[in-house]
């Protein structure tokens, strides 16, 4: 399996792990570029680093954000590999292990605790998200990202004030990130 194929498996796994926002191979100010990172619930992030060789895993240990775990991204952190590539006792403290075999991903070891991210890591995640939004804005110029995000309003205005069939209103779209934090916590114990 190639690295790119493993990253695609990580993205699919994050979606099944109930991450509603998933990015892959996007850099942040710390220099970290997670193979895949997703967010679920309110600000709970999950990082998956894909390794297809032991040499790649060993080189990963030397990176500054691995040497100082507080600089790392992710409330939960996982390595994803082919079966048998890594041993659980080789993992950095708190990291989990996912193995991909014949297209199926199995959690060999969970990430524990599920609160590895520091305040500095949160800042780096915010930087990653903002940098990603800026990349989107550059691609949709001359339209602003704000206007792009208001596309439902434009659809309704073009359609005589009514959204087209099959397009949910903001109130109906079920975006957990727009709900008050207390409601999200009670809906996702």
Question: Rounded to the nearest 10 degrees, how much is the dihedral formed by the CA atoms of 127, 43, 33, 24?
Answer: -120
For the chain, domains (ranges, CATH) are: 3-109 (3.40.1350), 150-189 (no CATH)
| Cβ proximity of 49 and 34 under 8 Å | yes
| Cβ proximity of 7 and 50 under 8 Å | yes
Residue with tokens 């309704």: 156
Cα angle 113-119-121, degrees, rounded to a multiple of 5: 75
What is the pTM (predicted TM-score) of this model?
0.81
- Reported as a single tens digit per residue, the pLDDT across 43-85 is 899 999 999 999 999 999 999 999 998 899 999 999 999 999 9
- Reported as a single tens digit per residue, the pLDDT across 124-153 is 999 999 999 888 888 878 877 777 777 666
| Cβ proximity of 78 and 98 under 8 Å | yes
> Strand, helix or coil at 77?
strand
């Amino acid at each position: 399996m190639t690295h790119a194929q493993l990253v695609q498996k990580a993205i699919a796994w994050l979606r099944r792990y109930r991450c509603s926002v998933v990015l892959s191979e996007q850099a942040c100010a710390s220099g970290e570029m997670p193979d895949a990172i997703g967010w679920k619930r309110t600000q709970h992030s999950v990082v998956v680093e894909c390794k297809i060789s032991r040499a790649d895993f060993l080189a990963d240990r030397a990176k500054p954000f691995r040497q100082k775990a507080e600089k790392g991204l992710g409330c939960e952190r996982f390595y994803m590999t082919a079966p048998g590539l890594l041993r659980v006792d080789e993992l950095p403290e708190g990291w989990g292990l996912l193995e991909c075999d014949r297209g199926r991903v199995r959690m060999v070891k969970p990430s524990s605790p599920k609160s590895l991210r520091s305040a500095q890591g949160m800042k780096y995640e915010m930087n990653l998200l903002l940098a990603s939004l800026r990349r989107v804005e550059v691609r949709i110029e001359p339209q602003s990202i704000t206007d792009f995000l208001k596309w439902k309003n434009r659809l309704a205005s073009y359609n005589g004030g009514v959204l087209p069939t099959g397009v949910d209103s903001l109130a109906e779209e079920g975006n957990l990130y727009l709900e008050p934090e207390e409601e999200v916590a009670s809906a996702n114990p």
